[in-house]
Amino acid sequence: MQNSCFRLVTGVLLATAGAVALPAMAADQAADKPAGVWDLTDLYPTPEAWTAARDHVAAEVPKIDAYRGKLGESAAQLRAAMDFITGLQKETARLGVYAGLKADEDMRDPTASERRQVQQQLGVELNRATSFLTPEILSLGNDRVLSYLAKDPGLGQYRFTIEEMLRQRPHTLGAEAEKVLSTSGLIGGAPGNIYNVLTNADIPWPTVKLSDGTEAKLDAAGYTKYRAVPNRDDRKRVFDAFFGTYKTYERTLGASLAGKVNSDLFYARSRNYPGTLAAALDPNGIPESVYHELLKEVNETLPTLQRYFKLRGRMLGVDQMHYYDIYPPMVKLEKTFTVDEGKRLTLEAVAPLGPDYVAKLREGFAARWMHAYPQTGKRSGAYMNGSAYDVHPYVLMNFTGDYESVSTIAHEWGHAMHSRLANAAQPYPDAGYTIFTAEIASVVNEVLLLENMLKEAKTDEERLYYLGTALENMRATYYRQAMFAEFELAIHEIVEKGGALSGERLTRLYGDLLKRYHGDAEGVLKIDDLYAVEWAYIPHFYRGYYVYQYATSMAAANQFADRILAHEPGAVDTYLGVLKAGGSKQPYQLVKDAGVDLASPAPYLSVAHRMNSIMDQMEAILAKQKG
């Protein structure tokens, strides 16, 4: 865990929100659809060219040491060091994009897997080699560093980076301590690695027989698929078997998550933070009040969430909702889409963002920047990788022809457009943006897509489907992620106060939250005690204080989208300005300057307002159908 304002050198994936990705389906024969397969030669013409570039960077990394102890000689010397290190970081990120994309094309390919591991090791070595940089810059004193910035225009692209280093002075250690912490990341990641091996390789997942005779294997992908089957008894059978298996490993998984929380506490105290929340938020300049305001407003609007569950029960014909009733669609849509239709619908939807945005998106759609179709061995789910600054973003999809696939195109290409705009407008050090702002671009596109689909809908059933899908997305991305965030805060505070965590205690804490959010005591939706072990199913808990950003991004996106759809003067330019700014400013302040203050109630209330508005529309349609 490195206290550095420089970019991560291992590449960044921006994935569709949710705890588990969609299963990859062996279909569509991507190799037979060259237009649906990305072209990685834009990164490196051949694997051999990648190896040569990697070897070059590996040979250059030791040369960083020549700058150690010399940063204070002059502004020119400081600029030379920053230029050299940044150049290596940029090329290492590009190496990471290629290695990651090649590995995800076919996860059975050992050569691709080894290539990714080699690149990750290079990233660790580069982080270690640059660990002296921040402590040495701080040792020069603020006055001298700021005078260098004023003297040398070439340092301008590093101004925000350096000012952030100065701001974080109280939490930066000496050079030797920073070197130790920079190499401790592999140890800090051990709990997550143990979790991944245990849940993906070692746990014997059960197989249950459904009422139609289907033998359903309930690993993570199988659970995602079968939890939405129409038969209620089958859904309960799926939930009981899946979470019953997690319950068997409750003690081991509890020890694993406790290890992660203790690791977070170690890093927080090592860097002189008052707690783990501050340690997670302060490096990006995010006030703790944002986190607390989110939880406060979510809890105050739980009646909106519970109204949704009541509507869901009504539409499913269920008198007493249970936890296994939250996934089946409220309305079925007997309609399929092609990738080209998904692109067309997305282009139409984002028209309010202006002709330049549409033209750039159309250009991306026309190029081979996306791996669109499922195929055997391919990574599941969907993501965007925009870390190749001098090239362009890449998008991985597993398009299956349903509306969710269309929505995922809009979502992931929202990320891609964010990267394109930021990379075009900012120098490399300021182009990379944080997760705090990343999801805003994707959610705005989803909101615009919904508006377009409602205009295209031919029947009330189709409108109900799109509206219901939007509701479920808001439940999963806003309320569910906020519940996760509340759980994370609670378990970290227990350890910070000297308490201990066990699997049993984690289940009890999570179960209390599940029941409160879902209105168990009020009879809205009943939570079976067994399902309270669901915390063990959420891999995001191994990325401390990460998931809250899905919820804050949705809140900000709703405010931006409301203004865009209302045609407020300047709304589009202001929103696009946020995307173009990339990481040139602290993300909270960047969004606040655009008129959305995530430390205030307004953005969160906009989510509840949108959900209530959607439910009003659905209930009006249902009333018309009944009458």
Distance of alpha carbon 362 from alpha carbon 297, whole angstroms: 38
Task: Give the residue numbers marked as catalytic.
Answer: 412
C-alpha distances (whole Å) from 599 to each of 106, 294, 557, 592, 627 are 43, 8, 15, 9, 44
User: Are 162 and 85 within 8 A, CB to CB?
Assistant: no
The three-point CA angle 442-415-291 to 5° equals 60
Distance of alpha carbon 467 from alpha carbon 462, whole angstroms: 9
C-alpha distances (whole Å) from 61 to each of 134, 390, 617 are 17, 21, 59
Residue 208: enclosing H or E segment and its boundaries? strand 207-209
Distance of alpha carbon 445 from alpha carbon 441, whole angstroms: 7
Check whether 26 has a pLDDT greater than 90. Answer: no
> Measuring CA to CA, which residue among 306, 256, 221, 254 is closest to residue 520?
306
Residues contacting 8, CB < 8 A, separation 6+:
93, 123, 432
Distance of alpha carbon 44 from alpha carbon 472, whole angstroms: 41
Distance of alpha carbon 139 from alpha carbon 56, whole angstroms: 31
Write down the pLDDT at residue 384. Answer: 97
* Stretch among 168-172, 184-188, 231-235, 261-265 having the lowest mean pLDDT: 184-188
User: Are 14 and 438 within 8 A, CB to CB?
Assistant: yes
> Measuring CA to CA, which residue among 280, 198, 174 is closest to residue 503?
198
Mean pLDDT of 265-292: 96
Q: What is the mean pLDDT of the chain?
A: 92
pTM of the model: 0.88
Q: State the pLDDT confidence band at 528, using cuts at 50, 70 and 90.
A: very high
Distance of alpha carbon 603 from alpha carbon 591, whole angstroms: 11
- DSSP character string of 524-550: SEE--GGGGGGGGG-GGGGSTT-THHH
Q: Which amino acid is at 78?
A: L
Q: State the pLDDT confidence band at 576, using cuts at 50, 70 and 90.
A: very high
Tokens linked to 20: 């588990």
Residue 384: enclosing H or E segment and its boundaries? strand 383-385
Mean pLDDT of 496-505: 97
Phi and psi torsions of 396, nearest 5°: -105, 130
Bridge partner residues of 208 (DSSP) = 216
Distance of alpha carbon 543 from alpha carbon 69, whole angstroms: 34
185: left (phi over 0), alpha (psi -120 to 50) or beta: alpha
Residue 365: enclosing H or E segment and its boundaries? helix 355-366
* Stretch among 374-378, 403-407, 470-474 having the lowest mean pLDDT: 374-378
Q: At what angle do helices 110-129 and 175-183 cross, to 10 degrees?
A: 170
* Stretch among 3-17, 147-161, 561-575 having the lowest mean pLDDT: 3-17
| Other beta carbons within 10 Å of 142 | 12
Structural domains present in the chain: 13-190 (1.20.140.70), 221-332+465-542 (1.10.1370.20)
Write down the pLDDT at residue 626. Answer: 85
Torsion of CA 87, 93, 99, 100, to 10 degrees: -170
